Structure 1
């Protein structure tokens, strides 16, 4: 059996509840499930606000009720069909009772804890009843009031559970109940007098844990709006990421110190029964989330960094404390009687001072009470008046394995010191699961980012590469990786291993990294390969940070990218076919990249090593809009027309371009304009436009017979045969004092490619060699375009572009 708890954001509206029901349907296929739900998003806050308004203005309180009714009846209209009238009548009855309570508050001018508990219970009573009835229409489900099962003492707003009675109630009910799914409200309970009590804010998590422990569930799942417990608060530390596995103790430490994804008391019932807790994201159910268990897999010695803001530091200090017993007892007893929670404690070994941290809204009361408690000692100057420092925060580094590593405290405080974060107080228990420091609240964000960088980002990152295609570009790429290995490790904290290589015949693998001095021998002695066998080997290797590199121009290779991305293996490619395939396939690859957290990078699809696509992405991501693109995007065609003249033959110039590595293996792809069309298509798509290759107008300059050849020999023969045609093209441009450039254009949602006569005053006129040039006309660059220019073809620059994409993945 499993227990699933869904928080307020997960059940905020009909759309979200449908996601919840889909998750429950999947989880309940082969086992019984208890589902604990919170009130619909913000409902509890609104209920309490209405109760407070009722003291002064009953009409405002009733307006709040009307808004809540609208929310709840919208959900009923969307999700409940079969028993709609019955459900509507029950919900109307509940709102009528709530209205009566508000009217009682107004008439009596009294709002007790007992009444507040009763008011706040309506959120879960309503949500669980409505969701249960929506569930009944999809699968075998039923509803049960948690108030009938969870019995507490008489603390109405933060009740203590009578586990003996509660556990008996829960086990008896579930033994008798035969439904596959039981939907229960979280947070609410009752005392022995059947009066409503609550388990405190965050109590829905606690409720789910109570059920899980009583039923000895296989797993307790907490479904929320984030994908687990993070290494730090992702709203503050953008580089933070979910922790895959964590111990109960580590989770308690993190939740205590501000990791709001989990209510701290939740862990205790699960810990006693050693029930695993999994934190999951309702909106990304395929994400693994965080598993909280007894023996998590080994990971980073520091599991997470958390913090609490709005802290005040209270110091009891004076020479009269030294050697005199009882000061600590009196301090904590005073705070305990006043129900003031202490979140931080430290005491100097000299016994000259005791320092405690409390929440800021308790500080004034704490000072007043402590000054009274120690009034005699203060009057006699044995100790100083209580010192209160506010606007502070506590930052905590948590990890159960920290005790096994030397110097972690030193790393923590030296990193804070380098960034000018002043530490006001320090606490560390002998178990060394937590090192806490009090700092200025203003420095909290800087401190979190500093420590996250220290413990999670500074280490050497390992990338494992699997390279297919080791011809001109692939060979240069491996050479560049080999050459830069030491530099990357020393300067970028990056270690790159080439684990697998393949050509069209053979493949070779080495889990320790292929020797790049002798990779050709390794490949020659490798095993026969196919695209599927190479993929299977990569998948079975199961290396962290795996990257598949495609240095080919092969369509079949491009068609297997999807498999790698689905296996969370990043893809880097200079092969333009995938991104110039159907728009649906292009978008699907992008979607899979995001879904499976695997990069899909193709900078070299346009301009070889030039940062054209990266620059375009930055423009779009920063809110700019591309209106027009003009470009010379073929290094091979630019080389050809820069070197072709009346004294040369077209055949010889094309052959020279292929020999230099500027053309595709089939030069007709370049000369037909297909390659350039693919490139402008990719730029248009990256600019945010939906377009297919067939939408691009292509003005061919090759004779029809040349275009119809099926191999390179026939193609070159056709060039020789049609030399007069090419000479006429050259002469026509030369007579106009123009140069020939193969230009790609995109504007107004349309694109075309073709040979143009470029006059001497045009930016393209002096484009030499195999250079590329791109002009981006955008909202921010309307008249004077953003220009990117440089070498746009050749094995070395293409290899360097692939290398740059690999480094981008390392820096992700």
Structure 2
């Protein structure tokens, strides 16, 4: 014999009921079947609502009743379009009884637990009868049996206790003589020994199924629902969650306690006692394997079996120096909560005995505070303890697994993973059995926490990075295209799942927590919302995605000023914008401190040399104990391009215009030609070498004409290049006469830095530097005579984008 239970969603519509009937018909070809059904999905809540409305003298109870009636009559018509008279007669009879009961509640203005049990029983009585009669109408051997004739309880209304001696005998006697292949039983409902209608409380239909399975000693109980078993975590919040094939009773109970709604543990006690396995199946996907719950030894590669959570938690904290060493505080505290019928979900106490923290349902928070403060009124008045502290908008997340106790470091991995994503932990609880590690966090962090932990414990070490890019001009566009091109490679080879979750230019911005489709990003951005720097930050913060990275592809000071905001939210920052790292030294150090404090990477390799690994190499030298003695460098790809192309046969204006058109200069070329850009770069290298220095400390010898230096606008500046051509030709002529090349050189030596245009002789390493190339020579204690040299393209959209991309990948590999 098979015992199957179908929940409210499984019987929530005629379509779903047809699926149930198909499953039952298939099973009945092989064995006799007992099918326990819940009320049609949502009906129990509507019955309670109608009762409450009637009790409160609200005429709207009639509308709620009519909704209940319409739902059932529609289902009957859809299931039995041509042969439904007997079912409609039964339904009308039951619905008339229901209406009379509601009218009575309305008249006497009272809804007792006894009446409430009678009220909610109509849901299961109707659904079970409809299904049984529909099957008979289709020629299937099936019959309806009222569970109230079989399951006998005491008179503890709303959560009656079963008399197993009588109930088991009733079930065994009935099914010995039952001739039908399929028996449909309403779940949840029962009768007292005095003949009063009772119910079995929360999870009552599961309970009915477990009682039947235990009484008949079947080999397995099947619980059919709307999901394919118990999942590694909530699939509505974590798309990568997947069903667990096998799980122990203890693990299932822990997961169910902490929010997994598939199973309500107390209801399956009858089958647990007899070690009858429970199989969770999906009504809408009957071919899915589902989850088997048993006491059999289960071999698992992962010590963590699942991650669950309970929302809408309030944390109560009782604390005070007067608690230390004084027995009885805990006893009094729990007695107060017990008297108020408040369930305690989580408990944690500091070893100092200075405080006790309790997690309860948020709806009970104010009642609990009032009762506890009253109970400890004397101690509060004497300042021995503080008034109870209540924190709301919290959630409990829990790692569950029988084998966690045999694996070191699970707790450490859990908390470090949460910490890296700026998820603050308010309280921690871990039982001595080590089957469960629980933490209280903000409700707003639940999705990020579950995704982060699931990635850590269940996914094939694939790390998801969520990138938010501001500035999708020339370089930004190249970066997006590189990400699009390499996404699959990163996923397959580096186990990095890189998603662009936000994009912005100076006009519009777009966001998508699932990742923006990079094949149409330009069209999407054109239709995006109005862009603001603060709005971009607030949207990034609100999405609260794990491993978030803000990428600044601008030269904007206001954007750089927001880095502190991102870092304080544990959002990494990758920047080609040099303004932040060349700003006041205290701001530079603040950014470094925030990066460490909030575990948020702050990478800016492209600040110097575009895609060349200059800052990374410098950092490795310093970290390995080497010391920089001097740096000699050509750090401006734009200036190198200009002076490599400027001759006595060209115009300086034309060469600068060409450099700007090819993207080698900033939009305002004065930043490059004035030497400010190079000064910022040598400043950053000096700071990364460990020297405290500001931009004004760098000696900058300009080569521009006086009128070029004093120009007010970009257009004015370009005009000076034309009028002052002789000045620039004289610079070229001087170098040529000495067989030298003009190079704009940055130097750092003995704690001092300078930038200037220099005439480089033919035997110097800088002489043959071509095109837009950069070169850096590090002289160190380990490289005192022959420097470490880094050379290559130091400007251009592609190489700058690749440098930003490399920093993003570096974060993914950490």
Q: With structure 1 as the length reference, what TM-score do the two structures score? A: 0.56
**Structure 1, gaps ≥5 residues long:** 462-485, 495-614, 625-812
Change (3 A) 1:152 1:338: farther
Answering whether residue 359 of structure 2 is matched by residue 349 of structure 1, we say no
Residue in 2 aligned with 1:607? Answer: none
Residue in 2 aligned with 1:84? Answer: 84
Whole-Å separation in 1 of the counterparts to 2:245 and 2:274: 21
Whole-Å separation in 1 of the counterparts to 2:434 and 2:231: 20
Residue in 1 aligned with 2:176? Answer: 175
User: What pairs with 1:105-504 in structure 2 (closer than 5 Å)?
Assistant: 105-136=105-136, 137-295=138-296, 297-299=298-300, 300-459=302-461, 491-492=494-495
Contact residue 147 and residue 189 of structure 2 kept, 8 A: yes
After superposition, the C-alpha distances for 1:674-726 in whole angstroms (9 at most, x for unaligned) are xxxxxxxxxxxxxxxxxxxxxxxxxxxxxxxxxxxxxxxxxxxxxxxxxxxxx
Residue in 1 aligned with 2:769? Answer: none
Runs of at least 4 residues off by over 6 Å: 486-490, 615-624
After superposition, the C-alpha distances for 1:304-333 in whole angstroms (9 at most, x for unaligned) are 100011101111222222222222222112
Residue in 2 aligned with 1:33? Answer: 33
Contact residue 83 and residue 133 of structure 1 kept, 8 A: no
Change (3 A) 1:3 1:76: same
Tell me the CA shift for residue 159 of structure 1.
Answer: 2.4
Contact residue 57 and residue 109 of structure 2 kept, 8 A: no
User: What pairs with 1:640-655 in structure 2 (closer than 5 Å)?
Assistant: none
Change (3 A) 1:618 1:40: farther
Residue in 2 aligned with 1:610? Answer: none
SS at match of 1:423: coil
Change (3 A) 1:425 1:617: closer
Is the deviation greater in 279-288 or in 81-90?
81-90
RMSD of the alignment, in Å?
Answer: 2.7
Tell me the CA shift for residue 389 of structure 1.
Answer: 1.2
Tell me the CA shift for residue 493 of structure 1.
Answer: 8.4
Residue in 1 aligned with 2:102? Answer: 102
Q: Say which one has the larger Rg.
A: 2
Whole-Å separation in 2 of the counterparts to 1:620 and 1:81: 48
Whole-Å separation in 2 of the counterparts to 1:68 and 1:270: 34
SS at match of 1:453: helix
After superposition, the C-alpha distances for 1:206-232 in whole angstroms (9 at most, x for unaligned) are 221121112112111111111111111
Tell me the CA shift for residue 44 of structure 1.
Answer: 1.2
Contact residue 245 and residue 296 of structure 1 kept, 8 A: no
SS at match of 1:457: coil
Change (3 A) 1:618 1:266: farther
Residue in 1 aligned with 2:556? Answer: none
Tell me the CA shift for residue 382 of structure 1.
Answer: 2.1
Residue in 1 aligned with 2:66? Answer: 66
Whole-Å separation in 1 of the counterparts to 2:332 and 2:307: 33
Change (3 A) 1:119 1:413: same
Whole-Å separation in 2 of the counterparts to 1:444 and 1:127: 36
Contact residue 455 and residue 461 of structure 2 kept, 8 A: no
Whole-Å separation in 1 of the counterparts to 2:357 and 2:28: 51
SS at match of 2:21: helix
Change (3 A) 1:297 1:140: same
SS at match of 1:454: helix
Tell me the CA shift for residue 620 of structure 1.
Answer: 10
After superposition, the C-alpha distances for 1:112-146 in whole angstroms (9 at most, x for unaligned) are 22222111110001000111111223421111111
SS at match of 2:347: strand
Tell me the CA shift for residue 82 of structure 1.
Answer: 8.6
Change (3 A) 1:374 1:57: closer
SS at match of 1:121: helix
Tell me the CA shift for residue 489 of structure 1.
Answer: 8.8
After superposition, the C-alpha distances for 1:371-422 in whole angstroms (9 at most, x for unaligned) are 1222222222222221211111100001111111110000000000000011
SS at match of 1:311: strand
Whole-Å separation in 2 of the counterparts to 1:62 and 1:120: 16
Tell me the CA shift for residue 56 of structure 1.
Answer: 4.8
Contact residue 58 and residue 102 of structure 1 kept, 8 A: no
Aligned length: 480
Whole-Å separation in 2 of the counterparts to 1:443 and 1:225: 26
Whole-Å separation in 2 of the counterparts to 1:616 and 1:352: 50
Contact residue 58 and residue 103 of structure 1 kept, 8 A: no
